[in-house]
A = this chain, B = another copy of it.
Amino acid sequence: MSNPVLVEVVRGALVESRHRGAVAVMDADGATVFALGDVARAVYPRSAVKPLQALPLIESGAAEKYGFGDKEIALACASHGGEPAHVEVAGRMLARAGLDGEALECGAHWPSHQASSQALARSGAAPSALHNNCSGKHAGFLCVACAAGVDHHGYVKAEHAVQREVRGALESLTGVGLGVDACGIDGCSIPTWAVPLTALAHAFAQFGTGRGLGSERAKSAARIRAACLAQPYYVAGTGRFCTEIMTLLGTRVLAKTGAEGVFCGALPEVGLGIALKCDDGATRAAEVTMATMIARFLPMAEDERGAVGRFLRPTLRNWNGIEVGGLRSAEALSS
């Protein structure tokens, strides 16, 4: 059984490459609004659930204790580009808890934002864990530990109090029990728990609307959503899909990318959650699929619809800037 082709990559007169995958759109009551492909298969959501993983930061009182505003909370949900402003906010979050970048257990990598990476190289410095795209999330985890007076060492381990809190939030929102048979280790060393796309989409519908959540949790979810939508630059960065689509559509969409072709999101005003995965792990196809779902389910004004067009059919240009092709949703997705 193979998933349908979601996105085609065109060059000249031919389809050069094809991306298969599955998509689920659910409402907060758990009703399936749209499903394509094997939406029951458990997939690792990777970074796409960072907004959910940030719930303990709010619910523990740590965000309040350390005086976090929208930027800090947005960065706790981010897969950021390692731009100077991202690094600065991550460092500030840690400082509030009396820590610095040394406490991060996510590992170091060069900023994915090319200009920032080159500027860092020009300065003669090497990247630190603060440049890791997950440093905001990890700073949040460390703050949860410190606010609770728990030893933060090993906070990335499944058995640490912080990860137990995070797992509890995910289990509660997805309605799925998360055991070791569904556990992988993420790029930043924390556990990633596999969940069916339907459960992820349902979780995001609840997260986006507050429906089906207790009043405290609904308030925490609303706080995280408000932070991401007020400061979308801190959720990803310059030129990035999540930042640009949230900037464009304001409070009407929450969108979060994950590694290996995952995307999750919420459309609060229509009460829907979206979860998708490209089989092959391609981000380019996950983005086109996400844009296609947003355009399909979110009522948009003429000018918004025009602006979303470049996410629906991105142009491919070569090193000389010549248009050589583009991406488009395939029939199964667009029909």
Q: Which residues of A are in contact with B by a Cβ distance under 8 Å? A: 2, 9, 11-14, 16-20, 42-44, 105-110, 114, 117-119, 121-122, 124, 132, 181-189, 192, 194, 260-261, 278-282, 285, 318-322, 324-325
Contact = CB atoms under 8 A, between A and B. Distances in A.
Contacts of A189: 318-320, 322
Contact of A319 (B43, B109, B181, B184): B109
Q: How many copies does the complex hold?
A: 2
Nearest to A109: B319
Given A184-B324, A189-B318, 15 more contacts: A11-B44, A12-B183, A12-B185, A13-B182, A13-B183, A14-B182, A20-B279, A107-B319, A109-B319, A121-B121, A132-B319, A186-B324, A187-B318, A187-B319, A189-B319
Q: Which 9 A-B pairs have the closest CB atoms?
A: A107-B319, A12-B184, A118-B121, A17-B281, A280-B280, A11-B184, A107-B320, A121-B121, A185-B324
Contacts of A17: 260-261, 279-281
A319 B111 CA distance: 13
Nearest to A325: B184
A103 B109 CA distance: 36
Contacts of A184: 11-14, 16, 324-325
A188 B122 CA distance: 27
A16 B260 contact: yes
A189 B318 CA distance: 7
A200 to B, nearest CB: 15
Nearest to A11: B184
Contact of A280 (B13, B19, B119): B19
